[in-house]
Structure 1
Amino acid sequence: MSTIIVFISLQVLFVPVMYSVGASHVCRSYCGNLTIDYPFALQPGCGHSGFRDLLFCINDVLMFHISSGSYRVLNIDYAYRSMTLHDPHLSTCDSIVLGGRGNGFVVEHWRAPYLNPSADNVFMLLGCSTQSPLFQGFPAGNHVPCRNVSGMGCEEYYGCQSWADLGLARMGLAYGTGPPVCCSLPFDSIKSVNLSKLECQGYSSAYTLAPLRVSGPSEWTYGIRVRYNVEASNDSFCKACEATGGSCGHDVEQLGQLCMCGSWNSTSNCDTIMKLSVGGATTTMDKLSGSLITAVALWLMSSQI
């Protein structure tokens, strides 16, 4: 009878450790009115490894940081896997900012598979020099990459009052003996909006929210709309993890996938018996559990002799 009582007691003791009820949304957090969820995160080890050290919450303002600079995050749309960024030195229809103060958009090479401006996002590069890589071979041949994107481009942008405020008449901005003052193009055509390397004085960025149609540049939505994605294998892993009450994360050193299950992490999901201790260290409860198992096993063997 005593043996049965010991086993029942041990089962009650070990169930919370071996079969964790999970840590649903332990990685979910908030910054101001924005929800931070997978694949993004604010805490080390949470989210997808490709998005680590990307977001920072400063005085309830969510900031996005890449090699070209820091941007304010205006929105994260998890359904469409997109986010909207704001650069304080981005030119709009109301204000044209020159002097090379804008960030542009340059993402680290290893992040490129996960983050890129959306296909309907137009970048308009302003005041680029004749030596700019954009105009190599100009005026001979068709080497200038400038073109409209989703119905938006420089021809329309020249109609903004801010050009006249700068003392630049519309007719003086069109193609002439030199390259255009404004060159609109999609991100994919250059892969990097680096104002210094492109020798440009400023830039604007706008995107469409189809099927919305607007009448002109004064009604465009200005900002940088970025698409994000993760591998299909990560999606499957994350769904399995969350289905068992866990939160999707990664190993901060090896960058492998981890399902965060409260006091322990798993390489599969929170229903598995095999577990990886947080930080790679054995917890006090693990040590206690192991000692009790050993003690009971020895006691049972001695009682049967």
Structure 2
Amino acid sequence: MAPPSPPTTLLLLLLLLLPPLLFSFPLIPSSPTCRSYCGNITIDYPFSLQSGCGHPAFRQLLFCINTLLLLHIPSGSYRVLSIDYAFHRLTLNDPTMSDCYSLAPNTSPAHGFITNPSLSKFLQPAPDNVFFLLRCRRDSPLFQLGFPDTRVCGNVSGMGCEDYYRCPAWEAGWRSPAYGTSNPPECCSVAAGIVREVNLTRLRCAAYSSAYSIAPVRARGPGEWDYGIRVAYSVPGDDETGCRACRVSGGSCGYDDTKVRGEEDVDYGVVIQRLCICGGGMDAWNSTTTCESTEISEGFVVKQASMLNAVLGGWLVCATGLLAI
């Protein structure tokens, strides 16, 4: 038999050396840290822009588009102006919302603020938020308790409709007779706790505005109010404690959403394994507790085995083909 040609000899040599080289390096690609940025806003636990990072209750909630951070819920997409991790607050902007200089009914329909049932347990308008519901119909649920005798509308944190009526947006004559007549008011200011979500269709209102106060600072008038939606978020106590232990050990908090076990979880929609993401780059690995633990997650082991099987399978196919030449 003639000796193998130089190209064939080289390929055979590479195939013989490939398996030892593979086993000498981790089979995990470079893994970025869960902490990230969008524009000038830091994205950290419990939020994330990456799948598998953060808390599962907030997965697929935030998106970064051209350095703009957006929060997406059933009622629409809102620009995130800031995230206060110390006080667990997000500040949102709804471009379809009315403010002191523009009333939304003259433009496009407003979004309101509606979350899905599972997320509403952890994401709600903050207590220091006041909603101004505009042009609500007489048959609105707001007034079903006995309008006009029941005073549903009132001053909240020093902000109310009587002050809001002083805004330039009302100078066009949009305002109707005052509260207490046979007609409902053009504006009804309510605390966030009265309406846990602003569903304009269900409330039968034409538009809304929202403002919030940052104590102890109180603006002098409606032109100086902070307009936007102040949202409070929370994380279940056990998960908060577990994440704190993970972060103290140098890890990032995440979850494995590739493996759903059994019935749906009442809190997060699916049963998802929490992870502590440790290390970085080629040395990244996942733990079920902390980075000081030796308990490697099952999903991590399965992923490594799958990658190894794929590489070795390809090597065997190539080797068989060359030997048949």
> Shorter chain as normaliser: what TM range?
0.7 to 0.9
Normalization by structure 2: what TM-score? 0.76
- Show the 5 A alignment for 1:38-117: 38-98=45-105, 101-117=109-125
Over 3 Å counting, the alpha-carbon distance change for 1:177 and 1:51 in structure 2 is same
Over 3 Å counting, the alpha-carbon distance change for 1:285 and 1:123 in structure 2 is closer
Q: Cα offset for 1:125?
A: 0.4
Over 3 Å counting, the alpha-carbon distance change for 1:139 and 1:145 in structure 2 is closer
Measure, in 2, the Cα distance between the counterparts of 1:140 and 1:30: 49
Listed as ranges, the gaps of 5+ residues in structure 1 are: 1-12, 18-22, 289-305
Partner of 2:291: 270
Deviation sequence 1:187-218 (CA, Å, 0-9, x none): 21122210111111100000001111211101
Q: Cα offset for 1:139?
A: 3.1
Per chain length, whose mean CA-contact separation is higher, i.e. which structure has more relative contact order (CA < 8 Å, sep 6+)? 1
Q: 1:198 corresponds to which letter in structure 2?
A: L
Between stretches 274-283 and 112-121, larger displacement belongs to: 274-283
Partner of 1:136: 144
Between stretches 25-34 and 114-123, larger displacement belongs to: 25-34
Measure, in 2, the Cα distance between the counterparts of 1:140 and 1:217: 25
- Show the 5 A alignment for 1:155-234: 155-165=162-172, 167-168=173-174, 172-234=177-239
Q: 1:31 corresponds to which letter in structure 2?
A: C
Deviation sequence 1:13-70 (CA, Å, 0-9, x none): 99x98xxxxx8x8101111111100000011110011111100011111000111111
Q: Secondary structure at 1:98's aligned position in 2?
A: helix
Q: Secondary structure at 1:189's aligned position in 2?
A: coil
Between stretches 208-217 and 256-265, larger displacement belongs to: 256-265
Identity %: 47
Q: Cα offset for 1:267?
A: 1.3
Over 3 Å counting, the alpha-carbon distance change for 1:187 and 1:208 in structure 2 is same
Q: Cα offset for 1:223?
A: 0.1
Partner of 1:122: 130
Partner of 2:276: 259
Partner of 1:301: none
Q: Cα offset for 1:75?
A: 0.5
Equivalent residues, number:
266
Listed as ranges, the gaps of 5+ residues in structure 2 are: 1-22, 261-270, 310-325
Contact 2:177–2:183 (CA under 8 A) maintained in structure 1: no
> Does 2:37 match 1:30?
yes
Q: Secondary structure at 2:52's aligned position in 1?
A: coil
- Aligned CA RMSD, in angstroms, stands at 2.5
Measure, in 1, the Cα distance between the counterparts of 2:200 and 2:145: 20
Contact 1:101–1:202 (CA under 8 A) maintained in structure 2: yes
